[in-house]
Structure 1
Amino acid sequence: MPSISTKGLAMPESPIRKLVPYAENAKKKGINVIHLNIGQPDIKTPQVALDAVKNNTLDVIAYSRTEGSETYREKIAAYYKKQHINVTAQEIIVTTGGSEALAFVMGSIADADDEIIIPEPFYANYNGFATAAGVHVVPVVSKIENNFALPPIEEFEKLITSKTKAILICNPGNPTGYLYSKEEIKKLAAIVKKHNLFLIADEVYREFTYDGKEHYSILQEEGLEENAIIVDSVSKRYSMCGARIGCLVSKNKELVKTALKFAQARLSPPTYAQIASEAALETPNSYFTNVIEEYVERRNILITELEKVKGVRVAKPQGAFYCIAELPIKDADKFAQWLLEDFNINNETVMVAPAAGFYATKGLGKNQIRIAYVLDKESLKRAVNILKEALAVYQD
């Protein structure tokens, strides 16, 4: 029998999606599953984006330029300028989602067995992208006790070796909802300049910051032009997850030139999705004002209700729309599967994402789950009540 690659065998399962078969089986039994496991907002996609696809008059769905259409990239650059990020269209490569942007970055900056330092817990697919690229993730632990703040910079220093190529952060964070402060970004900027590393920032949740706090981009930091790489996406910003449009942004000309070669190998990003994404840039600010208000209310309800549950500890998100909750159990994977197979209240149960898959350090996050508060407030209340009742009877 032909053999599977070592890389393929090492590829991790998604903690967000691996329980889908159990959820589908529950639904076949007539059980309603409340999905807390995936960051798929129920917020309506801006009408201007939907209309741009519906009303287009294309006769041929042709390839676009490899780096994305020039008009779209010019408009992305104008969007960034409003965010106090000064870049040009030539410093932007449009990608098939933020995922492809990150894959291009890893391919461009690291060789097999090189290392990238990432504060954990982190977006689970970073493990997958790193495995595909043959890159080693070197985790530095952030803790629920201090809301998953940036670990002491000394902890990063200890991990830097001759194989270290970059530090990667998600800001605001998935799965923690943590928002790095300007001071924390400056600390990271200093260390990457000192050691001649790249600083990669996944900034797809830039708009979603709460409690009067503001997002500070790595490309706002002076003197970081050669080190900074942004990964971005329209998925969450405009509730357009299925469009699969993102971008890579950097002022480092050699990095952009190299990433473009990876982009050429896949030809071009999808045409219709670029049309929708370009139109989405015309979305009025009122859209974001309303969306942020809604997420703040959802966050507050979720955190308040979780804090009432005996034995549960939860970190308070400052951005994005996720939180990590620590449960009074030993194994969240088994608990999550049990919820779908054996527990319901009035034919309703919940699907959560076990948090161990958001860590690189084995054994961490075993009793934690990630919750995405992308559902309406009543659904969130019912979901927490189901978790409460489930924890009261669950036996490890």
Structure 2
Amino acid sequence: MPKISNKGQVIPASPIRKLTPFAEQAKLDGKKVYHLNIGQPDIETPEGMLNAVKNIDFKVWAYTASEGTLSYRKKLTEYYNKLNYGIDPSNIIVTTGGSEAITIAMMTCLNPGDEVIIPEPFYANYNSFAVQSDIVVKPILSYIDNGFALPAISEFEKLITNRTKAIIICNPNNPTGYLYSKEEMQALKELVLKYDLYLFSDEAYREFCYDGREFISPMHLEGIDDNVIIMDTVSKRYSACGARLGCLITKNKEVLQAALKFAQARLSPGLVEQIAGEAAVDTPDSYFETVNKEYTHRRDILVNALNQMDGVFCPNPGGAFYVVAKLPIDNADKFCQWILESFSHNNATVMMAPATGFYSTKGAGVNEVRMAYVLNTTDLQNAMTCLEEALKVYPGTVEQEQVAASVQS
């Protein structure tokens, strides 16, 4: 029998989805499963976006331009320039989700064997995209004890070689919810200028910043226009994950010309999605204000509940809608499977994502889980009660000192 490719063998399974069979079996067994594993918001998609789809009136469902329709790119320009990005439609390539924006950016800017530095834990699919693009991820650890702040620039410099071509950040961060400060962004700017690197910025969670904290994009930093690649999506902003609509933005003309060739190779982004996306730009600010308040409330419920549990620590994130929590367990992968397979409280259980899948460093995140606070507050509270009861009876519960020792060894 023919063999699959090396890429097919080494590409990692998603920590977000790999436990789905166990969750489905739990449901077949009659359990209610609280899904904290995936960032699928339950917030309603803006009405204007849905109405645009319902009212579509065309005779031929045709291709669009490879870079996206001009009308949608013009509308996107309005959105980004309200945020002071200073762009025009020619700076935008519309993509099939944020995922395609990331893969096109990697293929455009990096050669096989080139290295990209990413603070970890990081969005698990960066590893998968890197495998597809034949590039090497060089992880740099951030730590739960200080809320996953940006590692010291001196630590970045230790990793830089003649193969280093880019740094990737996700801001606010998935999976940690950390929001990079102006000082941290300025430090990154100086680093990429010093070593002539690309700075890829995944901004899927731009709208989700809490407690009055300021969002800073590389687009707000002067002097690095040719270094910056923005990767974005409508998935989270408009609670429209199924639209699969994103974009790549840069002021670097050479990057745009090369990226367009990759966009041409896949023909075009979807027409219906762009019609919906164009309407979405007119979503009133009140929508985001309401959503922000709701997520802030959910975050507070989740973080407070976690930190009241014995042996649990969870930093308070400044953005996105995720937390990474440290639990008194021997192994997150085992625990997340066990709680689905072997535990229920009031005939319910919880699905979480083991944090090991968000690290590249071996042994990191072994006692950490990622949770998405995308459920209503009642379900969140019930899920936390369920988790607390599970930790009381999990056979692999350990003291934190033991976990720390196992990671170091």
Q: Which position in structure 2 is the counterpart of 1:254? A: 254
Give CA deviations for 1:150-206 in whole Å, capped at 9, x if unaligned. Answer: 000000011000100100000000000000011111100101011010000001111
Q: Which position in structure 1 is the counterpart of 2:89? A: 89
Give CA deviations for 1:348-378 in whole Å, capped at 9, x if unaligned. Answer: 1000000000001011001100000011011
1:90-105 residue pairs with structure 2 within 5 A?
Answer: 90-105=90-105
- Is 1:44 matched up with 2:57? no
Q: Which position in structure 1 is the counterpart of 2:21? A: 21
Q: Which position in structure 2 is the counterpart of 1:173? A: 173
CA–CA distance in structure 2, aligned partners of residues 220 and 257 of structure 1: 23
Shift of 1:266: 0.4
Q: Secondary structure at the match of 1:324?
A: strand
CA–CA distance in structure 1, aligned partners of residues 160 and 233 of structure 2: 29
Shift of 1:214: 1.2
Letter of the 2:299 partner, please give it.
R
CA–CA distance in structure 2, aligned partners of residues 165 and 256 of structure 1: 17
Q: Which position in structure 2 is the counterpart of 1:333? A: 333
Q: Secondary structure at the match of 2:222?
A: coil
Q: Secondary structure at the match of 2:116?
A: strand
Q: Which position in structure 1 is the counterpart of 2:241? A: 241
1:76-225 residue pairs with structure 2 within 5 A?
Answer: 76-225=76-225
CA–CA distance in structure 1, aligned partners of residues 367 and 24 of structure 2: 24
Gaps of 5+ in 1: none
- Is 1:75 matched up with 2:104? no
Letter of the 1:178 partner, please give it.
Y
Q: Which position in structure 2 is the counterpart of 1:322? A: 322
Give CA deviations for 1:300-351 in whole Å, capped at 9, x if unaligned. Answer: 0101111110000111110000000000011111111111111011211000
- The alignment covers a number of residue pairs equal to 396
- Is 1:294 matched up with 2:291? no
Shift of 1:246: 0.2
Q: Secondary structure at the match of 2:33?
A: strand
Shift of 1:29: 1.1
Shift of 1:297: 0.3
Q: Secondary structure at the match of 1:94?
A: strand
Shift of 1:58: 1.1
CA–CA distance in structure 2, aligned partners of residues 340 and 277 of structure 1: 37
- Is 1:34 matched up with 2:31? no
CA–CA distance in structure 1, aligned partners of residues 339 and 244 of structure 2: 31
Letter of the 1:147 partner, please give it.
G
Q: Which position in structure 2 is the counterpart of 1:8? A: 8
Shift of 1:4: 1.0
CA–CA distance in structure 1, aligned partners of residues 236 and 170 of structure 2: 14
Q: Which position in structure 1 is the counterpart of 2:404? A: none
CA–CA distance in structure 1, aligned partners of residues 277 and 47 of structure 2: 12
Q: Secondary structure at the match of 2:317?
A: coil
1:265-280 residue pairs with structure 2 within 5 A?
Answer: 265-280=265-280
Letter of the 1:262 partner, please give it.
F
Give CA deviations for 1:239-275 in whole Å, capped at 9, x if unaligned. Answer: 0000000000000000111111111110000111111
Q: Which position in structure 1 is the counterpart of 2:348? A: 348
Letter of the 2:264 partner, please give it.
Q
Give CA deviations for 1:41-93 in whole Å, capped at 9, x if unaligned. Answer: 00000000000000111111100100000010011111011011111100000
CA–CA distance in structure 2, aligned partners of residues 247 and 330 of structure 1: 40
Q: Secondary structure at the match of 1:305?
A: helix
Q: Secondary structure at the match of 1:168?
A: strand
Q: Normalized against structure 2, the TM-score is what?
A: 0.96
Q: Secondary structure at the match of 2:323?
A: strand
CA–CA distance in structure 1, aligned partners of residues 31 and 280 of structure 2: 36
CA–CA distance in structure 2, aligned partners of residues 338 and 141 of structure 1: 28
CA–CA distance in structure 2, aligned partners of residues 277 and 47 of structure 1: 12
CA–CA distance in structure 2, aligned partners of residues 274 and 29 of structure 1: 41
Q: Secondary structure at the match of 1:209?
A: coil
CA–CA distance in structure 1, aligned partners of residues 183 and 75 of structure 2: 30
Letter of the 1:30 partner, please give it.
G
CA–CA distance in structure 2, aligned partners of residues 168 and 102 of structure 1: 10
Letter of the 1:363 partner, please give it.
G
- Is 1:61 matched up with 2:61? yes
Q: Which position in structure 1 is the counterpart of 2:399? A: none
CA–CA distance in structure 1, aligned partners of residues 110 and 5 of structure 2: 20
Gaps of 5+ in 2: 397-409
Q: Secondary structure at the match of 1:314?
A: coil
